[in-house]
Structure 1
Amino acid sequence: MLCVLSLAPFSSPSQSRSRSRSQSRSPFLPNVRCLFGNGKQLQEKRRRHSKADAISTQEVLDLFDQLSTAQNPPPSIYQFNQLFAALVRTRTATDNPVFSLFSRLIQAEGISPNDYTYKIMMDCCARTNQVGLLFGFLGRFLKEGCKTNVVVFSSILKSLCWENRIDEAAIIVLDKMPKMGYAPNVVSYNILIDALCRKGEIEKAMDFLHDMMSKGQEPDVVTYNILIRGLCHNGEIEKAMDYLHDMMSKGREPDVVTYNTLINGLCKNGQIDKAVDCLHDMISKGFEPNIVTYNTLTDGLCKNGEIEIAMDFLHNMVSKGHKPDVVTYNTLIGGLCKKGEIEKAVDFLHDMMSKGREPDVVTYNTLIDGLCKKGEIEKAVDFLHDMTSKGRKPDVVTYSTLIDGLCKKGETEKAVGFLDDMMFNGHKPDVVTYSTLIDGLCKKGETEKAVDFLRIMLGKGLTPNLVTYNSVIHGLSKLGHWKEAFNVFRELVERGFLADDYSYGAFLGSLCKQGQSKVVNKLLDLMIKRGLKPSIFSHTS
Structure 2
Amino acid sequence: MGRIPQAFRKVAAQSPVSTLLKAKTSSVLQEEKAPPLVPHLQRKKNFSQKKPFAKNDSAAKTTVPSFFFESANLSDAKSLFNSFISSTTDAPSEPSFYNSILQSFSSVSSVQDSIFFLNHMVKQHPPFCPNRFTYHTLLKQACSSADEQSLSGVHNVLNLMTNSGFPPNQVSTDVAARALCECGREEDAVELVKELSTKNSLPDTYTYNFMVRHLVKKRSVSSANSFINDMKDFGINPDLVTYTIMIDNVCNTKNLREAMRLLRVLSEKGFKPDCYVYNTIMKGYAHLSQGGDVLGVYKRMLDEEVVPDHITYNTLIFGLSKSGRVKDAKKFLQVMTEKGHTPDAITYTSLMNGMCREGDALGALALLGEMERKGCSPNSCTYNTLLLGLCKGRQLNEGVKLYEMMKKCDIKLETGSYGTLLRALCRQGRVAEAYEVFDYAIESKSIPDIAAYSTLESTLKWLKKAREQGLVV
Identify if the C-alpha distance between structure 1 residues 343 and 464 changes in structure 2 by more than 3 Å, giving closer, same or farther: closer
Return the match for 1:272 from 187, 209, 221: 221
Q: Which of 318, 334, 343 is residue 267 of structure 2 equivalent to?
A: 318
Quick one: which amino acid aligns to residue 241 of structure 1?
E
**Structure 2 unaligned residues grouped into runs of 5+:** 1-43, 46-51, 70-76, 86-90, 119-133, 140-171
In the alignment, which residue of structure 2 is the partner of 1:482?
A: 431
Alpha-carbon deviation of 1:270?
A: 7.0
Give the drift of 1:486. 1.4
Q: What corresponds to 1:223 in structure 2?
A: 175
Q: Match for 1:409: what amino acid?
A: E
Normalised TM-score (structure 1): 0.55
Q: Which of 438, 449, 472 is the equivalent residue of 1:498?
A: 449
The root-mean-square deviation of aligned C-alpha atoms, in Å, is: 4.1
Partner of 1:415: 364
1:283 counterpart = 2:232: yes
- Structure 1 residue matching 2:348: 3-state secondary structure: helix
Contact 1:369–1:402 (8 Å) recurs in 2: yes
Q: Determine which of 225, 245, 250 is the counterpart of 1:301.
A: 250
- Within 5 A, what are the aligned runs for 1:65-104? none
> Is there any run of 5+ residues in structure 1 with no aligned partner, and where?
1-125, 128-136, 157-166, 194-204, 516-539
How much has 1:456 moved relative to structure 2?
Answer: 1.6
The corresponding residue for 1:368 is 317
CA displacement at 1:347 relative to structure 2: 3.2
Question: Is contact 2:247–2:262 with CA below 8 Å preserved after alignment?
Answer: yes
Contact 2:294 2:320 in 1 (8 A): no
The 5 A counterparts of 1:225-244 are 225-227=177-179, 230=182, 236=184, 239-244=185-190
Task: Tell me, yes or no, if the aligned pair for 1:270 and 1:300 is still in contact at 8 Å.
Answer: no
Distance 1:212 1:502 in 2: 60
Amino acid paired to 1:448: N
Q: CA deviation at 1:444?
A: 1.7
Amino acid at match of 1:434: Y
Q: Distance in 1 between matches of 2:310 and 2:110?
A: 42
For 2:233, the aligned partner's letter is S
1:372–1:380 Cα contact (<8 Å) kept = yes
| Equivalent position SS for 1:358 | coil
SS in 2 for 1:499: helix
Pairing 1:510–2:428 present: no
Paired amino acid for 2:449: L
Q: Take 2:229 and 2:193, find their aligned partners in 1: how far apart are those partners?
A: 19
Distance 1:185 1:299, change over 3 A: farther
| 1:13-67 CA-partner distances (Å, limit 9, x unpaired) | xxxxxxxxxxxxxxxxxxxxxxxxxxxxxxxxxxxxxxxxxxxxxxxxxxxxxxx
Matches within 5 A, 1:465-480: 465-480=414-429
* Structure 2 residue 211 is matched with structure 1 residue 262: yes
Q: Partners of 1:243 and 1:433 in 2: how far apart?
A: 46
Give the match for residue 64 of structure 1. none
Match of 1:245 among 182, 191, 213: 191
SS of residue paired to 2:458: helix
Partner of 1:53: none
What's the CA shift for 1:225?
4.8
Question: How many angstroms does 1:401 deviate by?
Answer: 0.8
2:288 is the alignment partner of 1:342: no
Name the residue aligned to 1:333: 282
The reply on whether 1:401 has 2:350 as its aligned counterpart is yes
Looking at structure 1, the residues matched to 107 and 192 of structure 2 have their Cα atoms a distance apart, in angstroms, of: 14
Distance 1:417 1:168, change over 3 A: farther
Residues 217 and 271 of structure 1: is their aligned pair in 2 closer, same or farther, counting only changes over 3 Å? Answer: same
Give the superposition deviation at 1:410.
1.5
Greater Cα shift, 252-261 or 370-379: 252-261
Tell me how far apart the structure 2 counterparts of residues 344 and 431 of structure 1 sit (CA, whole Å). Answer: 30
What is the TM-score normalised by the length of structure 2?
0.62
Distance 1:390 1:293 in 2: 31
Q: How far is 1:358 from its partner?
A: 0.9
Distance change (3 Å), C-alpha of 1:370 and 1:212: farther
If each structure's helix is expressed as a fraction of its own residues, which one has the higher value?
1
Distance (Å, rounded) in 2 between the aligned partners of 1:180 and 1:507: 77
Count of equivalent residues = 345
Tell me, in whole angstroms, the C-alpha distance in 1 between the residues paired with 2:109 and 2:267. Answer: 42
Residue in 1 that maps onto 2:48: none
Check the 8 A contact 2:320/2:328 in 1, yes or no.
yes
Whole-angstrom distance in 2 between the partners of 1:444 and 1:459: 24
1:75 maps to what in 2?
Answer: none
Partner Cα distance (2:93, 2:237) in 1: 43
2:426 maps to amino acid: S
Structure 1, 387-396 or 280-289: larger mean CA deviation: 280-289
Measured after TM superposition, the shift of residue 244 of structure 1 is 3.5
1:206–1:304 distance in 2 versus 1, CA, 3 Å: farther
Residue aligning to 1:432: 381
Q: Is the 8 A contact 2:181 2:189 kept in 1?
A: no
**Superposition deviation, residue 453 in structure 1:** 1.7
* Separation (CA, whole Å) in 1 of partners of 2:361 and 2:257: 38
- Report deviation, 1:308: 3.4
Question: Is this contact kept in 2: 1:259–1:278, CA < 8 A?
Answer: no
Measured in 2, the distance between the counterparts of 1:426 and 1:212 equals 63
Instruction: Indicate conservation of the 8 Å contact 1:291/1:322, yes or no.
Output: yes
Higher relative contact order (CA 8 A, sep 6+): 2
CA pair 475-308 structure 1, distance change in 2 beyond 3 A: same
The match for 1:88 is none
One-letter amino acid of the structure 1 residue matched with residue 135 of structure 2: Q
Contact 1:244/1:254 (CA < 8 Å) preserved in 2?
Answer: no
Q: Aligned-pair distance for 1:420?
A: 2.0
Q: Percent identity?
A: 24
Report the Cα offset of residue 362 of structure 1.
Answer: 1.6
Secondary structure (helix, strand or coil) at the match of 2:265 reads helix
The 3 A distance-change label for structure 1 pair 224 and 477 is: farther
Preserved contact between residue 177 and residue 193 of structure 2 (Cα < 8 Å)? no
